Structure 1
Amino acid sequence: MKNIILIVSLLTASLYADLNINQIENMILKIHKKRVGYDLNMLESTKNPFVVLEEENNVTTFVVKEVEDDVKISLHAIVAKKAYINDGWKDVNDTIMGYTLKYIGKRGVVLRNRNHIKKLFLSDKRDNFITVEGR
């Protein structure tokens, strides 16, 4: 009985699996219909939907944050627990462009400005070692 049910189910599956070329081409045409999207110029002109809302006395105020310029800080060398950052030797707790130097390691330093933390590392590509020439 099991064999008969298995044979009948295989035969019915093979009958429904018979697709001709026209059916396949129709399926491909349905898949390849180009979807209409938005124009990029229109998207650039829209306002930012992600704004911070502040509620005071049942009045909603929109607060738009200004974009802060990222400062350029570069680490050139580390010698005897001092770091050469932006053309000057700095020690722990010195201030560099609003950031405080918190840690000096062998290959990098950690700077902190309130909630912002920057980690600077010595580049392997450049010559970062300072040599003292003849005296």
Structure 2
Amino acid sequence: MEVNRSIPAAQVVPILTYPDVRAAVAWLAAAFGFAERVRIGEDHRAQLRFGDGALIVADTGSDRRPPGGEGVTHAVLVRVDDARAHCERARAHGARIVMEPTDFEYGERQYHAEDLAGHRWTFSQTLADVAPEEWGGQSIA
């Protein structure tokens, strides 16, 4: 893959829409630990990083809208070192905790949070290396 400093290096990059890009960037940094890497216009878009992952925060121009109404249309999964500590940080900054940190048979401790615009996030801490067959999954390749 070619390198371009104007776009995140990650191969999969979610683009989430917020009504106020600057407020979203500040909140995502404070609550979830993201860091801004590129700013595009004052309130148009921003590229954020988290480890080797990336996220683009977009404004509400054109047909882009933040979540609204009932149900969950998407979630972003982010791997963290300590799900409990991360959850407390997010809670302290006003994240709505949808599911408290929970240990799962597939070797992950996860919690679910909703951000200031209603986007759903899953934060996951690896506890053990577990084969999918041990919990009912199936390895394909």
Range of TM-score over shorter length: under 0.3
More relative contact order in 1 or in 2 (CA 8 Å, sep 6+)? 2
TM (norm. structure 2) is 0.27
Bigger helix fraction: 1
